[in-house]
């Protein structure tokens, strides 16, 4: 009985242990099959080896041993910098060009099942596309047509990677490295071009300086001519004003003389002088005329008689004067 009881207790204990182990295993399996998909990620789920669905952001539970997560991909924009690739231009110059690709996974299913090793496929596709584009361009065009090459490569790569669930947003040529001898030639050419531009700038500066000097001399000559012209005009105006003032003064003097003469004649006429007064005035005038340097004097007929009368009177006065002298001696 004791052995039976002990066997029963042992069986119960073993059963409890088994149940606990089963529960723990179930919890472990459940925890292992609960998945949380983070933001900007997606998980591709397979069931029995076939594609089932794509899990987005959130909590998901997969069936143990039947379903599995084939791949979890990032939906962010990614950047890949590829190593320099040797390319040959149209004029047979070999260059090293490295590219940078900006891409984004738009379809996780196509990205998972579309191509094996997508990054390697994009790298090889980028290299072949770059060789094709550069092969149609000469060296100078390759160096100056970065935007054209970038846009052309982006269009070709974007179209080629559509079946892989990849969208190429941008393609950039990071470095273009010609051979050493080409670089030396380009450096010499750039140096010569800089020297040529410097010479042109110096010549333009000298030209502008000479133009400014000539303009200054021209303006100075114009100003001097204007000053001389204004001086002459002012001098002429001053002479004109002086002549006008002299003429006005002379006219005023003549007017005053004439006015005085007219006033004298008017006064004489008002005084009504006799013939004797006029005769005496005429004789005084004749005396003033005789005092001049004229060798001939023309006397009017009216004054000739008066002249004789004056001579007679002078003789009479001279005769009477000696007799008056003795009387005065008394």
317 within domain boundaries: no
Torsion sign (Cα): 194, 196, 200, 202: positive
The last residue of a domain, from among 155, 178, 201: 178
pTM: 0.52
Residues 170 and 206 in one domain: no
CA distance linking residue 191 with residue 197, whole number of Å: 10
pLDDT tens for each residue of 228-274: 888 888 888 888 888 888 888 888 888 887 887 777 677 766 665 55
Task: Note the pLDDT of residue 296.
Answer: 52
320 within domain boundaries: no
322 within domain boundaries: no
The last residue of a domain, from among 49, 73, 97: 73
Find the angle CA(115)-CA(116)-CA(117) to the nearest 5 degrees: 115
Q: Please give the residue range of the domain that contains residue 279.
A: 273-290+300-312
Residues 64 and 113 in one domain: no
The last residue of a domain, from among 73, 95, 114: 73
259 within domain boundaries: yes
pLDDT tens for each residue of 135-192: 988 888 888 888 999 999 999 999 999 999 999 999 999 888 888 887 788 788 888 8
As a whole number, the mean pLDDT across the chain is 80
pLDDT tens for each residue of 30-89: 888 888 888 889 999 999 889 999 999 988 888 888 889 999 999 999 999 998 889 998
CA distance linking residue 57 with residue 60, whole number of Å: 9
Residues 184 and 132 in one domain: no
Residues 7 and 68 in one domain: yes
Task: Say if CB 169 and CB 151 are below 8 A apart.
Answer: no
126 within domain boundaries: yes
Our count of domains for the chain comes to: 4
Residues 238 and 191 in one domain: yes
Residues 170 and 193 in one domain: no
Residues 54 and 93 in one domain: no
132 within domain boundaries: yes
- Bridge partners of residue 177, in order along the sequence: 96
Residues 51 and 112 in one domain: no
Task: Note the pLDDT of residue 44.
Answer: 93
318 within domain boundaries: no
* Distance from the Cα of residue 156 to its chain's centroid: 42
Residues 218 and 247 in one domain: yes
327 within domain boundaries: no
Residues 30 and 81 in one domain: no
Residues 169 and 196 in one domain: no
pLDDT tens for each residue of 117-133: 888 999 999 999 999 99
């Amino acid at each position: 009985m004791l052995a039976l009881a002990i066997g029963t207790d042992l069986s119960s204990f073993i059963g409890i242990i088994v149940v606990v182990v089963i529960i723990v295993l179930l919890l472990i399996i459940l925890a292992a099959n609960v998945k949380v998909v983070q933001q900007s990620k997606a998980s591709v789920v397979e069931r029995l080896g076939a594609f089932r669905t794509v899990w987005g952001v959130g909590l998901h539970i997969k069936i143990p041993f039947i379903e599995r997560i084939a791949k979890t991909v990032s939906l962010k924009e990614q950047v890949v910098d590829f190593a320099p690739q040797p390319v040959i231009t149209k004029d047979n110059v070999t260059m090293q060009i490295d590219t940078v690709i900006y891409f984004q996974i738009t379809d996780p299913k196509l990205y998972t099942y579309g191509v094996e090793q997508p990054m390697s496929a994009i790298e090889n596709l980028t290299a072949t596309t770059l060789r094709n584009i550069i092969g149609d361009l000469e060296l100078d065009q390759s160096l100056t047509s970065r935007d054209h090459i970038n846009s052309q490569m982006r269009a070709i790569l974007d179209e080629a990677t559509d079946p892989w669930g990849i969208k190429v947003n941008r393609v950039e040529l990071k470095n273009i490295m010609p051979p050493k001898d080409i670089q030396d030639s380009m450096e010499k050419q750039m140096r010569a071009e800089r020297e040529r531009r410097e010479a042109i700038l110096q010549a333009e500066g000298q030209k502008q300086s000479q133009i400014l000097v000539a303009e200054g001399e021209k303006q100075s000559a114009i100003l001097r001519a204007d000053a001389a012209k204004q001086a002459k005009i002012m001098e002429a105006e001053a002479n004109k004003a002086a002549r006008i003032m002299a003429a006005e003064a002379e006219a005023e003097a003549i007017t005053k003389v004439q006015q005085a003469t007219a006033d004298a004649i008017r006064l004489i006429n008002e005084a009504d002088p006799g013939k004797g007064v006029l005769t005496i005035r005429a004789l005084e005038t004749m005396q003033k005329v005789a005092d001049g340097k004229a060798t001939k004097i023309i006397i009017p007929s009216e004054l000739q008689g008066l002249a004789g009368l004056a001579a007679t009177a002078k003789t009479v006065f001279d005769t009477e004067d000696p007799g008056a002298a003795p009387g005065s001696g008394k």
